[in-house]
Structure 1
């Protein structure tokens, strides 16, 4: 913090012994309340009320007692900015905690057996994605456990590519293209809906491959005529830039998992599920009631869900991994994606004011308003990064307080926020990683928010690139520039601080202020350095992602009468890695492999490792795949993949053959 008054000494501690005793008691109470949440979740409300009370006292103290009223206009403006950032943080943490108090667990609903199953249109939206990626998604759609005559699969190609049409003709699925491409994805979807008549439609991005049980787990909820759409989480089977470029891989969750798996679940309890543009099933009647997919924004998905809920329809969130897709490859692409989301939220809020929109309940308004406020995190984080630097470099006073008062008021509040967050046992987010995520994106998202809010200049819709390959690492200087500047300013602040201390011109009060701001800047510097490292794009050598699996497969080699039992380690649509007992196979040898759902698959050995006192490990590339074999491989991939962070798979060949829950009987 930044202050410029009373000294911090043993005499000051003695004078404030009563206040410090109160602070210690508050910390002990927080610890006791947090411990109680370990015994039962109902005690969370006690912890939450305590933290809210601490926050209220702290904010009042900050507003009325710590503003640098006599330090000049610039200090006053910066002081107000810092208080605004803290108010924003208090609002966000309170809303998150309140809406996370009770867990959302909707009962699993199966379509009534005495009611014929409905026809479902499967719409896969594409513009310029690779054909091999589209093939994987379309085959996965065909693999769904649903009566074939009731599935109508369509590739909605806004690129109008002949090769995409040829792929659809090969696979026997519908191909839809339009001559003009107005309104981007929303226009593409509206055009596709005009060509289809199903009572329900499922929506997938080009890289999202559904599991066979996708419709089995979602269509049953529509037996309630008031359900407008069912949303499932976006889960990724490839690493995001934080996992890949920072080389943490599957030791940390995907950056989006916290929202997709936990925030969405909290929103669902109040019928405020955010439609994320894919992995969802809609009632056609509900979409028609809002006049089709809304246009005029670059995030039509948010507006679609919002308008359906405002019409009185219910939204359901099924928190199961029912489709998996590719994460953004590069940090620059991730920033471009988040800038689009940020601008889109602002565009939606300007066109449909959630605070005044008819049909929404108070809690829905609050959640959607909070969603808009969230995108101020870039501005908020930049304030937190710049404030200590302004003091270290310029000596600018932004907060007028003593160390004792900070110890008494700020420390219990901060500790309460940390304990409150931990009490909800968030599996997909840690406080330090939140700091890194936000600081890494802050310079770009702050500029995007302010530009869209103040100017609102139209920006074109860009499809997020997927499945890129790169043989060498490359450093993105233009993306790293803001973080390089911030790191240089931080080092400059440290140098000036060192010089001031060495020159002996620092009194006790100034020295204390320097220490506090130096520690603050070190905390920020950790995230700034991570932002720079993110711009070092690591090589992407694999054209296709491997999915870990634990299944028994049979290997048939020339010259052997009996098949060899092997354990599958990982699998892609182009090859497999196996572990077997010692076998006399060499590079380029040809074999046949029996997988669950795909037998007689021809492959060539491309690499073999022999471990001492262990089995051989072999990498094999598929040489020929029939249409049926390819469909079987895709079924294995989708069935085994539960995302990059939590890979799960059946344990052997028999358990890999999970009985398909088909709905053929109901369709008859």
Structure 2
């Protein structure tokens, strides 16, 4: 089911959060206090609250709490500072972007790569037309290339009609990464702008990003993803005003001042990426650890090629060393002749694939790790916070699941086979930032324990702690309160409630990705569908539905048991586990709703007719 083209004009991207030293100081104070009280709580839990009569229950929960707290430490380090590199003046010539004194004084050259495989050629056409509108105040050599791994005559015809270059290849080795590598061998621009088939760059893209490359150490600049096709919803003040008049609007504005913008009827899939780009990625700039997210990024060709060449050379040397060792063991010789050694190195060079973009389902973050670990060159990355393109979002739960499984599986595969935490070249702050990303995908291990624990208590009366006493609440309450306050300040203007709910609710998908990597299963390269898939997807949320049903049944049984005076069902235990269980159940509801969500016919009709006001 295609989505109306008129949506292209109905929404506007967010404005980046302004940097405030005072705001940052308040956040740093609150998050430090939160961690201090968190350690105090965990220390008490380990030393004084274990239920020795139910170690099978108490210890797993305690380990889960500790694992979650380590994740909070990683997250705090990630958000520590919002300081970012200062963008330089726009380069007039290529020499302004290089420290090579022999660089010719010529216009900057940029190759725009539009990677496609099976997407509708007419969808790609719109992106090509937008790419041709890129502006720059100085002479520039701009070349647009369609990278068609589908080898389609219709796509070639669109490229020819739009007057852009068409590049294809005889095979699809390496999928998107291989497609980019093939295009690099056929082009020569100083910079490469990466576009997906559905991405439409804004005319100002180059004007907003090329200034960073005056620093010859900047290898790439990533801009935020922004989806223009998601239901924007209606602001909470407007909804309350319809029902309560001016009083309702005032209440709505007061709520938004505390919790940030609240939209009623907005995107059910939590696709809005502002929190990720404007908070999480942006705050990695201080550590030079913002990573590439594929589309919407612009790369210095020299950096990509040089890092790939260095990695290729290292792999060749390592392979030759292994071959020489095997030859010495076979012949019993202490050393082998130089001619034989040279022949082995030459054969290793022929066998080793040269990969400017790593052949991997997560080639973007993999390439980022390779570049960041090149300590000799000291390549830098930048997350530019201003949106400079728009693209399509997964608009049904099946498409969303395909995309997120690829993200989770690809990231965990890197952790399992090329762990950046032990990689030479990365700085400690960079390792902590990458560690935060990889560690977050291990969360289903302890999230499952958090989801099951209140159910176990409600049906059995067995507590995972020695007692839900006043001492318990005095230890946990300050930590929870300070953690919530620090998160509100850190993400001021962004609501994290839906993100946290999905983070908890997607435990089946993340467990599946983790299990696939542990079994050595290859993570595939599926193309995320660009059209809405017709139907509902209850089968994708059967675990979440089951959890809600069992939790609610547990609450009924637990309060019945409390009312009849059964052992173990104290008032403190019931209050704690009721709040816990309800929170878990509520966190499942957004993904369940998304499985059965259908577009609002009135909204579809309004945008098709062009009657929906811009920005609503």
In structure 1, what is the Cα distance between the partners aligned to 2:548 and 2:589? 7
Unmatched 5+ stretches in structure 1? 1-36, 547-569, 580-639, 641-646, 649-668
1:495 partnered with 2:556: yes
CA contact (8 A) 2:468 2:573 kept: no
Q: In structure 1, how many angstroms separate the alpha carbons of the residues matched to 2:186 and 2:39?
A: 55
1:353-382 alpha-carbon deviations (Å, 9 max, x no partner)? 222212111000111011100112333332
Alignment of 1:598-609 (within 5 A): none
Deviating more after overlay: 158-167 vs 513-522: 513-522
Q: What's 1:392 paired with?
A: 458
1:349 corresponds in structure 2 to: 415
The CA deviation at 1:103 is 2.1
Q: Which residue of 2 aligns with 1:216?
A: 207
Hey, what does 2:70 align to over in structure 1? 91
Mapped contact 2:221–2:384 kept (Cα < 8 A): yes
Shift of 1:414: 0.5
- Which of residues 545, 548, 551 is equivalent to 1:484? 545
Is the Cα–Cα contact under 8 Å of residues 158 and 181 in structure 1 kept in the other structure?
yes
Q: 1:186 to 1:533 in 2, by over 3 A?
A: same
| Corresponding residue of 1:465 | 529
Larger radius of gyration: 1
Paired residue for 2:25?
42
Q: Which residue of 280, 287, 304 maps to 2:297?
A: 280
1:327 paired to 2:306: no
Determine whether 1:442 maps to 2:535: no
1:451 aligns with 2:516: yes
Aligned equivalent of 1:121: 111
Long gaps (5+) in structure 2: 1-19, 96-105, 235-262, 309-354
SS in structure 1 at match of 2:177:
helix
Q: Distance in 2 between matches of 1:467 and 1:235?
A: 17
Alignment-derived partner of residue 204 in structure 1? 195
Is contact 1:238-1:545 (8 Å) kept? no
Alpha-carbon separation, structure 2, partners of 1:496 and 1:56 = 34
Displacement after TM superposition at 1:491 (Å)? 2.7
Written as runs of structure 1 = structure 2, the 5 A alignment for 1:172-321 is 172-239=163-230, 248-249=265-266, 254-291=271-308, 292-311=355-374, 312-321=378-387
1:535 lines up with 2:595 in the alignment: yes
Cα separation, 2, equivalents of 1:450 and 1:242 = 37
In 1, Cα distance between equivalents of 2:291 and 2:481? 31
TM-score (norm 2): 0.76
1:383 aligns with 2:444: no
Q: CA deviation at 1:518?
A: 2.1
Per-residue CA distance 1:74-99 (angstroms, 9 max, x = gap): xx344333223322332233333344
**Residue in structure 1 matching 2:574, options 510, 514, 523:** 514
Alignment partners' CA distance in 1, 2:269 and 2:595: 19
Do the aligned residues in 2 keep the contact of 1:469 with 1:539 (CA within 8 Å)? no
Partner of residue 7, structure 2: none
Contact 1:125–1:205 (CA under 8 A) maintained in structure 2: yes
Alignment RMSD: 3.0
**In 2, Cα distance between the equivalents of 1:251 and 1:499?**
35
Partner of 2:287: helix, strand, or coil? Answer: coil
Matched, 1:162 2:153: yes
8 Å CA contact 1:137, 1:209 repeated in 2: yes
Deviation for aligned residue 1:55: 1.1
Q: What secondary structure, in the 3-state scheme, does the structure 2 residue paired with 1:120 have?
A: strand
